[in-house]
Chain A
Amino acid sequence: MIRLHDIHKAYKTHLGPRPVLRGIDATFRPGEKVGILGRNGAGKTTLLRLIAGVEYPTSGKVERQMSVSWPLGFAGAMHYSITGADNARFIARIYGKPIQETVDFVEDFSELGEYYRLPVRTYSSGMIMRLGFALSLAVDFECYLVDEVIAVGDSRFGERCRKALAERQERSTLLLVSHQAETVRAFCSTAAVLNDGRLTRYDDLDQAIAVYQTV
């Protein structure tokens, strides 16, 4: 279970504080697959970062009663000057997973070939995304936070990710932020719309998408 209590977030800029989120309350239960729809700049990535605990809300509280992944996207979570395999070792160590098993799993899932033994900075953005997703699956979180990333990858890898997540259907929660209704439809069973710094949840996916298309 993840609970958000009246989350506000503002960023300091040269033009003064820019509020991004203005009071978000939400509950995400185990096993839910929720799509969060929002236009560019609506604060989707910010919301995901706050849920992940990468950044902190200006006010309000995030309550996590399950293990939550880092936000899976293009940036962060790995070190660019070391190899994919070294990143796998590092992740295994900090999350207390068996090292060799993790290295093998990530190598197999990410399909990076010989790039797996080269520094991450030599990777294409698609390869970085694959490595990041494989690393997070190796840790085996209870909740995955995904930042549009799967949709951007090639469709074969997208399919594998979807399968991997589906296998965890029972125990894994998925929060996926996207500006594309089709992506949300492919991965999620319910949806919410982030607009004007507020989040509205809809039990019915079609209803959420219909609302999203009017904002």
Chain B
Amino acid sequence: MGDALACQLRVIGALLLRELNTRFGRDNLGYLWLFVEPALLGGALGTLHYFIAHAMPGGLNPFEFWVVAYIPFYLLRGVINRAPFGIPSNQSLLYHRNVTILDILLARNLLEGAAVLGALVVFLVFFGIAFGHWPTDPFKMLFGMVLMLLLAHGLSLMISAGAVYTELFERLVHLVTYLSMPLLGAFWMVFWLPYEAQRLALWIPSVHIFELIRDGHFGGAVPTTYDIGYVCAWIAGTNLLGMAAIRRARRDLVL
């Protein structure tokens, strides 16, 4: 048991390093792109809204609001959009019996999570220096990012497994993440909505996570609504189903 765990950790470590190499190479900015890419996107969006901004409910700084919304959203979307390609682009590694699909996806998603978290930290420091506003509770934000990664990971397991059987996932995943953008809760807050709509919105697990992250950042400046137990149930459900799905898919996979 201890040996198996040590082996799995070793494999995930090796996959992380390899993923770093293949995704970012060793030239130019290399690994720096890891942070720069989400940071640029988040920063551009924040700046845009800063200049065209109407006043935000609760008097929030629009730059901060959009960055703190966009970066966790970038994580969720990135992990899900890349999920259908997780197995095909690493297929040759499954020739090694101790490399599992779960290891491959864990390594990819951990890397994505670390990158996006790095970008978020850079912004939080920038907000602290530029606007004099430091996060009310950074641990809530970190916790929110971890929950987002876990939820995205669970979904990515199911999508990766599905992609073994049909091209549909590969074709539709971008469309679905694009269309669901307004529903996920990144760019609005629960308290902006009328009561009936709030109740519907709170069925969506990511809504709770964005609210948690905003609670950590803005604290009591605005009311936030979330239920961590509900999110954890979703994480457990998606991960368990996802692991069962990749187990099945591995048996049917033709390399």
Contact = CB atoms under 8 A, between A and B. Distances in A.
Given A82-B18, A86-B18, A77 B96 contact: yes
A76 interface: yes
Nearest to A53: B97
Interface centre among A11, A54, A91 (most CB of B within 10 A): A54
Interface stretch (B9-17, B45-53, B129-137, B186-194): B9-17
Contacts of B254: 11, 55
B95 A86 contact: no
A123 interface: no
Given A56-B251, A94-B11, A82 B95 contact: no
Contacts of B18: 79, 82, 86, 90
A52 B95 CA distance: 8
Nearest to B250: A56
Interface in B16-32: 17-18, 21-22
B98 A94 contact: yes
A68 B98 CA distance: 11
A79 B18 CA distance: 9
Interface in A73-113: 75-82, 86, 89-91, 93-96
Interface in A1-55: 11, 49, 52-55
Nearest to A70: B95
Given A76-B255, A86-B18, A94 B95 contact: no
A71 interface: yes
A82 to B, nearest CB: 5
Contacts of B180: none
Contacts of B168: none
A93 B95 contact: no
A86 B19 CA distance: 12
Contacts of A79: 18, 22, 92-93
Given A86-B18, A94-B14, A96-B7, A55 B253 contact: yes
Interface residues on A, range: 20 to 34
Contacts of B17: 89-90, 93
Interface string A119-149: 0000000000000000000000000000000
B22 A81 contact: yes
B240 interface: no
Contacts of A11: 254
B130 to A, nearest CB: 39
B99 interface: yes
Contacts of A77: 92-93, 95-96
Given A11-B254, A49-B255, A82-B22, A75 B92 contact: yes
Given A55-B255, A81-B22, A71 B7 contact: no
A93 B13 contact: yes
B44 interface: no
A86 B255 contact: no
Interface centre among A77, A82, A90 (most CB of B within 10 A): A90
B5 to A, nearest CB: 13
Interface centre among A53, A71, A91 (most CB of B within 10 A): A53
Given A79-B22, A96-B7, A90 B95 contact: no
Given A55-B253, A77-B93, A81-B22, 7 more contacts: A49-B255, A70-B96, A71-B95, A76-B95, A82-B18, A94-B11, A94-B14
Instruction: State the 9 A-B residue pairs at the shortest beta-carbon distance, nearest first.
Output: A93-B14, A76-B95, A77-B95, A70-B95, A53-B97, A56-B251, A76-B92, A94-B14, A94-B11
24 contacts: A11-B254, A49-B255, A52-B97, A54-B94, A54-B95, A55-B253, A56-B250, A68-B97, A70-B96, A76-B92, A76-B95, A77-B92, A77-B93, A77-B95, A77-B96, A82-B18, A89-B17, A90-B14, A93-B13, A94-B11, A94-B99, A95-B96, A95-B98, A96-B10
Interface of B: 7, 10-11, 13-14, 17-18, 21-22, 91-99, 250-255
